[in-house]
Homo-oligomer: A and B are copies of this chain.
Amino acid sequence: MSYVPPLRDIEFALNHVADLESVSKLDGLEHADPETVSGLLDEAGRFFSEVIAPLNRIGDIQGSRLEDGRVVTPDGFKEAYATFVESGWAGAHLPEEWGGGGLPYLVGIVIQELFKSANMAFSLCPMLTQGGIEALIDVGTPEQQTTYLEKLVTGKWTGTMNLTEPGAGSDVGALRTKAVPQKDGTYRIFGQKIFITWGDQDFTDNVIHLVLARTPDAPAGTRGISMFIVPRNMVDADGNPGEENDLRVVSLEHKLGIHASPTCAMSFGDGGDGAVGYLLGEEGAGMSNMFIMMNAARIGVGLEGLAIGEGAYQMALSHAIEREQGRLPGQLATDSVAIVEHPDVRRMLLTMRSYNEAMRRLLYIVAQGVDEERRSADEESRRTAGARVALLTPIVKAWCTDMGVELASIGIQVHGGMGYVEETGAAQYFRDSRIAPIYEGTNGIQAIDLVMRKIPMGNGAVVQGLFDDIATTIKTLEGHDDLNAARLNLEDGLDVLRIGTEHLLAVMEEDPNQALAGATPYLGLAGHVVGGWLMARSALAAKELIATNGDDEWLASKVTTGRFYCEQLMPTAFGLLDGVRGSNDLLFDITPELLGS
């Protein structure tokens, strides 16, 4: 079976949990009214399910490979990429000024979701390109923008983020790649980079690397890092790619999953003269530029949790409907039923579906926030939206990707022994999913970001704003008898989350290690409760539509998943509070030596 874009839930979440209508009233987004978007998503759904999804398995089997120093992608990828560019999906939500479609970021997220569900490894190429685009838009010179933006936005070229080095993974301050200034204002880059996603490909005639490097005499640590534009092929006066720059792909990693995505070790300046690079933004501002790229990428990676969860769910459901085995209590020994009829299997499927819905709603409200942050008419709205996006981004990245691994694992389990056989495809989701908690800042780093930087924003006012919104939803649930249990659980969830938040805010200044030690359980708790809030809103929205338009079994199913999530899934996270408040001392009671004995 192949991926079917879940367009009905997508549109429901866009219009009735997030608010596409209000987004389309923002300055410059007037053409993105719900009806137009709906037609466009039909088309996108067809494209990604028909053109991109069929390449998912072949990409896994063949992988990208290195031949004579250049990346060769799996069969069919090059042709599919060309169609992707031609049909305009590459820049759908990017500025029209640079050849994009000018759609809301919210719609861009949906298109990315479709791409990632269809073929996660493939989707990383445009995702990384987008990071470079955002940096160029924000801090590029007009000349740099003219040279690169239109090519990148339309997908004619692709981009990379060159950050990690052998000795420096999450620790950017430790990196050692050198950038030597030249008299003509350019720089020469020397150094090694690893884990460069889509560091090369055979789709386009250029690849634009954004490279973090250290200028001579730059201060130690992150303040000494600058960002450079380093094209694979030098760009001539007419904007065309010419001779090769002094950089090369040294090797590709042999990875657990996302085999189609070439993860490159890169070498700059091996030729002796150094790779020609152009300073992007200010000297020493490499880190802040990188965060421009990373914030978008973090939401994009969070999306992978949902995308894999959805793909895994569809595959598992399809198997559970087809596969006959066992019987129900009371049936004859000779009877058999489809396994979807077994309560335990049904629990797995409903768990997958409900978490997927919760993730989708979370991603869409955050994406809406990005549009508001960029385009709301008044500054206060932009600021409020931006703060909410900043607060929720680490939750999106880490909670969704942790759930993605979990759901892919359940997806295998639904298949039984067949799930462990690679031909089935369930195992690929499991393997692919496992990178997402690691890259773009490990989930541990996300949790620390949430606790140490995000919940203290505005002296706790930003997180309080979220709690107020949850409390409002709890209030709205009153009087809905069928949602009573959900409401009580959401009340408990909010209580637990408040207690955890207050604990962390209280200890972090005096004893930051206590807060750091509680960060990961706190993030899991926050993700589950925020998910509960949105699933309750989803159930309420469905009931409202039914009240207006009459019975509809699909809408009724949103009430069921909302209830199931709040009644049975969300509470599984409440026990994380013990870890949030648990003593850091206990963690350090045992020395590293003793841990090994």
- B-side contacts of A439, CB under 8 Å: 417
A347 partner, pick from B4, B321, B587, beta carbons under 8 A:
B587
Q: Considering the complex, which residues of chain A in the window 548-574 have a beta carbon less than 8 Å from any beta carbon of chain B? A: 553-554, 556-557, 560-561, 563-564, 567-569, 571-574
Instruction: Tell whether A582 is near chain B: CB-to-CB under 8 Å.
Output: yes
Which of the segments A384-392, A428-436, A498-506, A538-546 contacts the partner chain?
A: A428-436
- Could you tell me the distance between the alpha carbons of A317 and B587 in the complex, rounded to whole angstroms? 14
Other A-B pairs beyond A320-B592, A342-B444, 11, CB < 8 Å = A254-B423, A318-B596, A321-B592, A344-B516, A344-B520, A347-B520, A405-B409, A416-B442, A571-B578, A572-B575, A572-B578
**Shortest Cβ distance from A586 into B: residue:** B564
Instruction: Tell whether A461 is near chain B: CB-to-CB under 8 Å.
Output: no
Instruction: Tell whether A87 is near chain B: CB-to-CB under 8 Å.
Output: no
A310 to chain B, nearest CB (A): 12
Q: Considering the complex, which residues of chain A in the window 1-27 have a beta carbon less than 8 Å from any beta carbon of chain B? A: 4, 6, 8
Closest 4 CB pairs of A and B: A221-B333, A343-B517, A571-B575, A256-B427
Which of the segments A142-150, A151-159, A168-176, A373-381 contacts the partner chain?
A: A168-176
Instruction: Tell whether A340 is near chain B: CB-to-CB under 8 Å.
Output: yes
- Could you tell me the distance between the alpha carbons of A430 and B592 in the complex, rounded to whole angstroms? 24
Instruction: Tell whether A394 is near chain B: CB-to-CB under 8 Å.
Output: no
- B-side contacts of A314, CB under 8 Å: 596
Beta-carbon contact of B560 and A590 below 8 Å: yes
- Could you tell me the distance between the alpha carbons of A344 and B126 in the complex, rounded to whole angstroms? 32
A281 to chain B, nearest CB (A): 21
Q: A412-B434, A582-B568, A592-B338 are in contact. Are A422 and B171 (CB under 8 A)?
A: no
Beta-carbon contact of A344 and B221 below 8 Å: no
Most buried by B among A6, A350, A588, A589: A589
A422 partner, pick from B6, B194, B256, B338, beta carbons under 8 A:
B256
**Shortest Cβ distance from A428 into B: residue:** B256
- B-side contacts of A257, CB under 8 Å: 420
Q: A586-B567, A588-B346 are in contact. Are A171 and B434 (CB under 8 A)?
A: no
Instruction: Tell whether A453 is near chain B: CB-to-CB under 8 Å.
Output: no
- Could you tell me the distance between the alpha carbons of A350 and B591 in the complex, rounded to whole angstroms? 11
- Could you tell me the distance between the alpha carbons of A569 and B349 in the complex, rounded to whole angstroms? 26
- Could you tell me the distance between the alpha carbons of A575 and B524 in the complex, rounded to whole angstroms? 14
Q: A586-B563, A596-B317 are in contact. Are A344 and B416 (CB under 8 A)?
A: no
Q: A443-B413, A517-B347, A557-B589 are in contact. Are A253 and B325 (CB under 8 A)?
A: no
Instruction: Tell whether A218 is near chain B: CB-to-CB under 8 Å.
Output: no
Q: A340-B592, A579-B572, A596-B317 are in contact. Are A346 and B587 (CB under 8 A)?
A: yes
Instruction: Tell whether A519 is near chain B: CB-to-CB under 8 Å.
Output: yes
A222 partner, pick from B333, B431, B561, beta carbons under 8 A:
B333
Instruction: Tell whether A312 is near chain B: CB-to-CB under 8 Å.
Output: no
- B-side contacts of A422, CB under 8 Å: 254-256
- B-side contacts of A564, CB under 8 Å: 582, 586-587
A349 partner, pick from B334, B443, B595, beta carbons under 8 A:
B595
Contact with B along A337-368 (1 / 0, CB 8 A): 01010111111111001000000000000000
Contact with B along A511-528 (1 / 0, CB 8 A): 011001101110000000
Contact with B along A451-466 (1 / 0, CB 8 A): 0000000000000000
Beta-carbon contact of A420 and B447 below 8 Å: no
- Could you tell me the distance between the alpha carbons of A572 and B576 in the complex, rounded to whole angstroms? 5
A578 partner, pick from B413, B448, B489, beta carbons under 8 A:
B489
Q: A578-B567, A590-B350 are in contact. Are A434 and B444 (CB under 8 A)?
A: no
- Could you tell me the distance between the alpha carbons of A592 and B317 in the complex, rounded to whole angstroms? 8
A495 to chain B, nearest CB (A): 14
Instruction: Tell whether A239 is near chain B: CB-to-CB under 8 Å.
Output: no
Instruction: Tell whether A220 is near chain B: CB-to-CB under 8 Å.
Output: yes
- B-side contacts of A6, CB under 8 Å: 597
Instruction: Tell whether A231 is near chain B: CB-to-CB under 8 Å.
Output: no
Instruction: Tell whether A326 is near chain B: CB-to-CB under 8 Å.
Output: yes
Beta-carbon contact of B8 and A342 below 8 Å: no
- Could you tell me the distance between the alpha carbons of A422 and B350 in the complex, rounded to whole angstroms? 33
Instruction: Tell whether A594 is near chain B: CB-to-CB under 8 Å.
Output: yes
Beta-carbon contact of B588 and A444 below 8 Å: no
A416 partner, pick from B170, B431, B448, B579, beta carbons under 8 A:
B170
Instruction: Tell whether A82 is near chain B: CB-to-CB under 8 Å.
Output: no
Q: Considering the complex, which residues of chain A in the window 221-236 have a beta carbon less than 8 Å from any beta carbon of chain B? A: 221-223
Instruction: Tell whether A336 is near chain B: CB-to-CB under 8 Å.
Output: yes
- Could you tell me the distance between the alpha carbons of A564 and B517 in the complex, rounded to whole angstroms? 13
Beta-carbon contact of A448 and B174 below 8 Å: no
Q: A321-B596, A421-B253 are in contact. Are A326 and B171 (CB under 8 A)?
A: yes
